[in-house]
Chain A
């Protein structure tokens, strides 16, 4: 059994205000990423390759808050965070606060595979990207008219357009189990709109927004990052399975609806366990998400 689940952010997505046309574009973006990741698994590829393929597509899609179309800092720049974890070897790679890397998830993978480190930040991470032969892009590559508008309305103190999911909650991610039973998780984000430069959320922090351990589970989070960091959310889910014998669904539910809600934080989690069971849960109005497995399941959902 192989399976993959993806998310494109959680938040308030009032059904009435998301036009049919726009909703269709979100669904199409999710479907493209889901199917690309699934195709890797179906072709006998690794869960690691599958989550990267899916996240890369979401990074390139301007609708989602990662890579091209990421939310902008208070200075109007994109600052990107990403992480990947390989549950087979318990390896991990992450980057934070990079401004010129087209696909941060690929740089995170380079950090995992080609450096002795796990986390590189800022200009040092970009220096490493150059050493690895990656070409950098100007920061304006990430900026879209929609995100600029969103930043300006946030800075004027107005509510962000309901047509765009509040990017404070946007993040993209994927978890997968391949035919060999290996688990992997990947997460990528532009963080919060109007964030302070240098602010890093949970996405690139192993154990907070991203975690994978073979035989237990793989988890990718989206939501109010500061709460997910303090709750060590992704590792908490894994520890609940491993130390308390909870089922994946109960562990995810407890984290979102008891621990995080108790702290005042909301968001969503996608997770997959050793058997390939997928859980996608959220405490917000909606979460852009999708799941597909070798038993024939193929779901795309928002609400």
Chain B
């Protein structure tokens, strides 16, 4: 019930938008096409190690998540449900660094972060450093919908999960052989026993979506960095850094070196450039990812979506697992830069 008032106030805050709102609309514009984009991490793809079988498995995982999210939009579901469904599938897929198969911290445990934001908002929920929650994105959504808070961390977040009837799982659920090997490799590298390894896992999963009602949403989930310090929290669960959505500007989910994304407030900065400097979404993403983030030494990428259904998936790393689908017939799964349309 607060929303119309809120939208009006935000529109005032946006200056130019207020001027537009003041004019009587000539005719209701056609609804924007529903659209969804997902990512499964950036910067982690070494073409030499990517066997055809592995590549096929990643593509299949991305396709399953993309289509699950899109199916919800197509039958009139909300963008919030669509991003939750897509991220949940990527969390359950052991290939991606979130939920089961998340990277392990210095103690050999998965510590998971996730956030969701509703562009009708501003509503948001996030959790960080949870160790026994099968689908952190669902807990983030419960924080948004069933608590007065935005961010809950650690044991307190798990206490809230139990109060909400979420079943906790043992830490062993998240651990896979591949991640244990990766942790061992990283530890040896840090002790100087082997040559510098491939860049550590910077994977993260995320989704942005636009539904038939014109609402944007963003969701992101991650296990963070391999061999990270216990308690380290990256950009993913921080609203404005790794996750942001506002119907007035755009929805963004990021992946990359989280510390750089936090300092640059990457997701909100992209939306601020759209709202205040009136940049096109692609130009705003370009400025933040290829200029500001790169200049600071940060590597990574984002998926972004604006209220007109324009999808931007861009990164300054070697590759980014990603996918996009919309009502205009686009359906794309990609990993490397040269697959960019």
Contact = CB atoms under 8 A, between A and B. Distances in A.
Q: Are A and B a genuine interacting pair, yes or no? A: yes
A120 B111 CA distance: 12
B231 A121 contact: yes
Looking at B2, B124, B148, the one whose CB has the most chain A CB atoms below 10 A away is B148
Given A90-B296, A123-B154, 12 more contacts: A97-B154, A117-B228, A120-B232, A127-B231, A200-B153, A206-B238, A232-B244, A239-B269, A243-B272, A258-B13, A262-B9, A263-B6
B6 A207 contact: no
A127 B154 CA distance: 14
A85 B10 CA distance: 28
A156 interface: no
Interface stretch (B43-51, B74-82, B155-163, B173-181): B155-163
A259 to B, nearest CB: 5
B265 A235 contact: yes
A140 interface: no
Interface stretch (B19-27, B256-264, B309-317, B329-337): B256-264
Contacts of B72: none
Interface residues of A, number: 51
Q: A-B pairs with the 5 shortest C-beta distances?
A: A198-B156, A124-B231, A262-B9, A124-B230, A230-B122
Given A121-B129, A123-B230, A198 B157 contact: yes
B155 A198 contact: yes
Interface residues on B, range: 35 or more
A199 B276 contact: no
B263 A90 contact: yes
Contacts of B188: none
A229 interface: yes
Nearest to B244: A232
Task: Tell me the interface secondary structure of chain B in the complex.
Answer: mixed
A205 B239 contact: yes
Interface string B270-299: 001100110000000000000000001000
Q: Which of A121, A197, A243 has its CB near the most chain B CB atoms (within 10 A)?
A: A121
Contact of B229 (A128, A198, A225): A128
A6 interface: no
Nearest to A200: B151
Interface in A234-277: 235-236, 239-240, 243-244, 254, 258-259, 261-264
B164 interface: no
A63 interface: no
A179 to B, nearest CB: 24
B152 A232 contact: no
Residue among A91, A229, A261 with max Cβ neighbours from chain B (10 Å): A229
B240 A122 contact: no
A200 B150 CA distance: 8
Contacts of A207: 238, 240-241, 262, 265, 268
Contacts of A198: 152-157, 159-160
A91 B122 contact: no
B12 A196 contact: no
A119 interface: yes
